[in-house]
Structure 1
Amino acid sequence: MREGTVLVTGGAGYIGSHAVLALLDAGWKVVVVDNLVTGFDWAVDPRAALVVADIADDEKVRAAIRAHGVIAIMHFAGSVVVPESVTDPLKYYRNNTAASRALIESAVAEGVKHFIFSSTAATYGIPEVVPVREDSPKRPINPYGMSKLMTEIMLGDVAAAHPVNYAALRYFNVAGADPQGRSGQSTAGATHLIKVAVEAATGKRGHVSVFGTDFDTPDGTGVRDYIHVSDLAAAHVDALDLLIARPGESHILNAGYGRGFSVLQVLDAVDRVTNVTIERRLEGRRAGDPDALIADNGAILAALPWRPKHDDLEGIVKDALAWERKLAERQG
């Protein structure tokens, strides 16, 4: 067992619950802080403690840090639906930026030295060069990306002023589910393509909308870098080890595989795995969708011992499908 406890915000949600599993499997003690607005208490591994609270509730967060001997925070809590951020920007600046500021302040006040932040490739906006490097211009085109970038900036300023170091991992398109079937994406109304596609394949949806067929890509549909959620969770554990080993250093790292698949390639993969032909409905482009968004992952491969173990598109689909079927049984 490792010394100290890791506090995971949003640990009852999709990515957070997988990070909890990865931490526990690596020998860490874990306490989850989640308000359960979009998360599920049953998604939290029973080996972890659960505190039902908002991350902006200073009193409860600080009490949890003290009670559990927290030495590091992994921060996943927040709102993540890009179109919603455009129609309700204040929700995103409250949940992602203001609440993060409160959490960081609690960390500093209680002497927590290490902070790992769930950031996003949306900080880049529409990149001029693909694959995208960490030093590419940050020009978010929606409040979601901006709210995350603002938190990155806060962390940089705090690390310069206090004995705290941080890692911000900029996620590309997260997909799949725990290969052991312990967690997966459970939120209703999800917008992620692979989740939507396996819902269609299992009869939860009648079709999949393809937004845009005139992109500058080989088949005209948008290309994205899909990373398995368990690989992403493993990267967080490795990032924590790095922060502890090198307390004077902070890191901003792309979390992706460095290769992309188009919407139609993903849907074809789901067809192959499920032996079901999903109905595709071709629709107009959504505002602000880049042609292609692929990570240059050279920095994360250089900084961490992390190497992807699940970087197979059909494998990602199989894990997502297995979870979808398990979820249907649970809800049935």
Structure 2
Amino acid sequence: MKIVVIGGTGHIGTFLVPRLVAAGHDVTVVSRRQRDPYQTHDDWQQVAFVALDRTELEKQGKFGQAIADLTPDAVIDLISFELDSTRQLTDALTGRVRHFLHCGTIWVHGYNELVPVNESDPRYPIDAYGLRKAAIETYLLQEVDLAELPSTVIHPGHIVGPGWTPITPAGNLDARIFTKLATGREVLLPNQGLETLHHVHADDVALGFMLALDNPAASIGESFHILSERAMTWRGYAQALATWYGTSANLRFVTFDEFKQTTSEEYANQSWGHLLHSTNGSITKARQRLGFHPRYTSLEAIQESLTWLKEEGRL
């Protein structure tokens, strides 16, 4: 198929685009060309690039038509965060593509009543990101005529892999925590460290998109969690990393009010968001309907990312 990937040089696209090329698809990547993929691959030489400024074109009401003018069979949108943005795109693609795939987020669930949470469980989105992504999913799967715009939504967890910093055991992006764990220094965790994080390797997310694309009868009109097999508690995550580093985790548990006094406002807000969500999702539906089996555990994906960071001199 002729496939257009919007935002194809980021976390997911770095792994998805080479998979699409290897599968024999004709791939066009739409981006602002402000960065290269995180990893090089020979298959990128077979990719066509179209530089479009989505934000500017949407202001003019022209972005959707610009994508439609590329005459794709399928469109994979990795970077839509607003309903109006998705609506403008899909209005132009309705009746013109065989499959439209949108990247959502596990945060559409908000807090969970039962864990691991399933795609069909009641939802309580609690922040703007989750609310907006939930609105896009509702629009694509309930309001759009699926015969005219066959749609699928993929919900990743905390994406990780070579190229960026993982969410830490304290639920934020303060990479100094990894250094503390590696050297046996004290790490403060809020509460008792029993909330959960559910990481997923970017290549496993790419695999999820591939399986949805290859199985339209099973994926159209559906959403799927794409995650590692199991979530980790913050405490368990810290202890596992310390063991990997060859040390023992030196953890101290404090109230969140105490914790936020020891870090920046930005990191404290990140931790608070992850505390509230305590992400723990089921991949049973993706496994049964798509044949999804992640290659990486959460810990393995994080370790690969940390190894890359060290090799790059960032840790």
* TM-score (normalizing by structure 2): 0.77
CA offsets 1:205-232 (integer angstroms, 9 cap, x no match)? x999755224xxxxx3321222222111
Corresponding residue for residue 273 of structure 1: 244
**Structure 2: how far apart are the matches of 1:47 and 1:280?**
49
- Does the 8 A contact of 1:197 with 1:267 survive in 2? no
List runs of 5+ in structure 1 lacking aligned partners: 79-94, 178-183, 215-219
CA offsets 1:85-130 (integer angstroms, 9 cap, x no match)? xxxxxxxxxx532222222223227x12211111111111111111
Corresponding residue for residue 267 of structure 2: none
Q: Which amino acid aligns with 1:26?
A: A
Identity %, equivalent residues:
20
Where 2:140 maps in the other structure, the secondary structure is helix
- Compare 126-135 and 256-265 and name the one that shifted more: 256-265
Identify which of 6, 30, 41 aligns with 1:9. Answer: 6
Corresponding residue for residue 232 of structure 2: 261
Shift of 1:196: 4.0
Greater CA radius of gyration, 1 or 2? 2
User: Structure 1 residues 112, 266: closer, same or farther in 2, change over 3 A?
Assistant: same
1:213 aligns with 2:163: no
User: Structure 1 residues 326, 225: closer, same or farther in 2, change over 3 A?
Assistant: same
Q: Which amino acid aligns with 1:256?
A: L
User: Structure 1 residues 291, 30: closer, same or farther in 2, change over 3 A?
Assistant: closer
1:40 aligns with 2:35: yes
Shift of 1:288: 7.1
Where 1:117 maps in the other structure, the secondary structure is strand
Corresponding residue for residue 152 of structure 1: 137
Where 2:17 maps in the other structure, the secondary structure is helix
**Structure 2: how far apart are the matches of 1:18 and 1:279?**
35
- Does the 8 A contact of 2:177 with 2:187 survive in 1? no
Equivalences, count:
288
User: Structure 1 residues 59, 316: closer, same or farther in 2, change over 3 A?
Assistant: same
Where 2:102 maps in the other structure, the secondary structure is strand
User: Structure 1 residues 246, 269: closer, same or farther in 2, change over 3 A?
Assistant: closer
CA offsets 1:208-263 (integer angstroms, 9 cap, x no match)? 9755224xxxxx332122222211110110101112x569x421112223422112
Corresponding residue for residue 198 of structure 2: 225
CA offsets 1:260-303 (integer angstroms, 9 cap, x no match)? 21123223333333447788786654167347421122111111
1:70 aligns with 2:72: yes
Q: Which amino acid aligns with 2:107?
A: A
- Does the 8 A contact of 1:7 with 1:65 survive in 2? no
**Structure 2: how far apart are the matches of 1:250 and 1:208?**
48
* TM-score (normalizing by structure 1): 0.73
Q: Which amino acid aligns with 1:18?
A: F
Q: Which amino acid aligns with 2:294?
A: P
1:49 aligns with 2:48: yes
Cα RMSD, aligned residues only: 3.4
1:108 aligns with 2:94: yes
